[in-house]
Structure 1
Amino acid sequence: MQLIDSHCHLNFEGLAGRLDEVLANMAQQSVAQALAISVSRSSFEEVLAIAERYPQIYCTVGIHPDREDAEEFSVRELVSRAQHPKVVGIGETGLDYYWCKGDLAWQHQRFADHIQAANETGLPVIVHTRDAAEDTLRLLKEGNINSGVIHCFSEDTAFAEAALDLGLYISFSGLLTFKNAPLIQEAAKYVPADRILVETDAPFLAPVPKRGKPNEPAYVRHTAEFLAKLRGEQVEDVAAYTTENFYRLFRKVPRPESAAA
């Protein structure tokens, strides 16, 4: 059985200082690879360094939507940095109306730039959306998005259906295992097996039974096990199809056996 953590922040406090241990824990839980996510210009350099150091780690390039004063990447810069063989996606990007209020035209423009870069590179866009479902879907549609994933899914089945109609994948995090997540759980039963990914969003949102502890990629196994039980499937099957979906979406990532060869 092989799992992949499709979204984590290995450069964040709690993980960056013990990467060898974190990766050893991954291997122990059959988590073969992980995708380290960029959220700022400085964090891109950090996650790229991690990806270059460890063969089982890949990374993305992007600016998170939570800070208006964040130093931007231009579309040209996003496209340029995405040429690196270890950079396999654009983002994390999107809309966040929970933390950000007022005139959010800057957020919309940042999201649109990332969508454009994703389309130009042919790489998937990693979408963050919080309290912004309608505008998230609208901007993705207006941008004619070619490939992407709704990360850390926190919406309902109607949103999942709309995202699937745009050709997007849906990634479930530890949120899925929380008792107060019935809408997310209903959506997880609805999404077809060929469009599901699993992630940790580590060091955040540790799944039950690790809730309240710092999250790490090894814990994606708990989310996969919960997803299997929820859908009436075997965890081995969930691991197989979420892994296959990851490689189909993130086409630049070689399978471990290919990388070893």
Structure 2
Amino acid sequence: MLIDSHVNLHAPQFDADRDAVIARARAAGVGLMLEISDKLSTFESTHGLAMAHADIWCTVGVHPHEAKDYADLTAGRLAELAGRDRVVGIGECGLDFHYDLSPRDTQASVFRQHIGAARLTGLPLVIHTREADDVMAGILAEEQAEAPFRFLMHCYTSGPELAEKAAELGAWFSVSGIATFKAAGDVREVIRSMPADRIIVETDCPYLAPAPHRGRRNEPAWVGHVLDALADIRGWTREEAEARTSAAFFALFDRIPRPPESGRPA
């Protein structure tokens, strides 16, 4: 089964042809998509997509870019929204010190509320991190020591030290179209060291279109290009990569029923 673990189908880039994009994904063999929440003001759209389509599930959360507008967000509020049908994860949340669109202390505070929600619900956390390796490593270590939670390092492009620390703490990792970019040799090197049983794939559409579509609006139909890149990087066959990433996805997002046809790694 092809699974796109991170789509933003509620984004305005899809307003003109959202249904056609979903249909193209299915035609390409994508059997499941995870629609990601980036702020509570659009959560109804995110949740609505999951409710309208049997092959789409969703998360609830606030991206670090939006943290400034949710400084009073509580773990309890997130957990309340996560109680809805077809919500299977908390996030996207985390730290982004590249753009700094929200104050860093606010980003960290809101991120910790998401961690609390992950503990309250038992749902996995979808983490965004950019140019915040040391702070992210510190928060993850501190919070895991306090009480454990499961988490995914989404679209991982940070350094090997954070990857190693996150892996020690039990992280899953998702690989995006960046793995196909010619200049992303450092990203591919980190991918080679990720835990083999905790890697999944994503498009992050409409962003980060993989080669040979780079520069265009990304679509979940193209997640197979990411899977092919992962297989090449890890020395796996396409079938092995598909089986391994499917098994890892369902192990993490375990509220989603696993279809009987989805394979297990050899």
TM range (shorter): over 0.9
- Contact 2:65/2:102 (8 A) holds in 1: no
In the alignment of these two chains, the number of paired residues is 257
Question: Which residue in 1 is equivalent to 2:190?
Answer: 187
Alpha carbons 1:15, 1:216 under 8 Å: kept: no
Q: Unpaired runs of 5+ in structure 2?
A: 262-266
1:126 is matched with which residue?
A: 126
The 1:223–1:41 alpha-carbon spacing in structure 2 relative to 1, beyond 3 Å, is same
Letter of the 1:133 partner, please give it.
D
1:221 has 2:227 as partner: no
Displacement after TM superposition at 1:159 (Å): 2.1
Task: Within 5 Å, give how 1:4-15 maps onto structure 2.
Answer: 4-15=3-14
Structure 1, unaligned stretches of length 5 or more? none
Q: Which residue of 1 aligns with 2:106?
A: 106
Instruction: Give secondary structure in 1 for the equivalent of 2:17.
Output: helix
Match of 2:181 in 1: 178
Q: Secondary structure at the match of 1:129?
A: strand
The 3-state SS of whatever aligns with 2:64 is coil
Matches within 5 A, 1:30-179: 30-71=29-70, 73-100=73-100, 104-144=104-144, 145-179=148-182
Question: 2:24 matched to 1:25?
Answer: yes
The percent of aligned pairs where both chains have the same amino acid is: 39
CA RMSD of aligned residues (A): 1.6
Match for 2:183: what amino acid? N
Per the alignment, in what secondary structure is the counterpart of residue 221 of structure 1? helix
CA offsets 1:212-252 (integer angstroms, 9 cap, x no match): 11001111100100111122211111111101111000011
Q: Secondary structure at the match of 1:14?
A: helix
Q: Which residue is equivalent to 2:264?
A: none
Q: 1:161 to 1:231 in 2, by over 3 A?
A: same
The Cα shift of 1:73 comes to: 3.5
Contact 1:197 1:245 in 2 (8 A): yes
**Shift, 1:103, TM fit:** 5.0
Letter in 2 for 1:48: H
Distance (whole Å) between structure 1 residues aligned to residue 49 and residue 155 of structure 2: 22
- More displaced 10-residue stretch of structure 1: 178-187 or 154-163: 154-163
Q: TM-score, normalised by structure 2?
A: 0.92
Say yes or no: does 1:196 pair with 2:196.
no
Given that 2:68 and 2:102 are in contact with CA atoms closer than 8 Å, whether structure 1 keeps it comes out as: no
C-alpha separation in 2, matches of 1:3 and 1:203: 18
- Indicate the residue corresponding to 1:252 in structure 2: 255
Paired residues of 1:56 and 1:256 also in contact (CA < 8 A): no
C-alpha distance in 2 between matches for 1:208 and 1:190: 22
1:240 and 2:204 correspond:
no
Q: Mean alpha-carbon deviation: is it higher for 101-110 or for 189-198?
A: 101-110
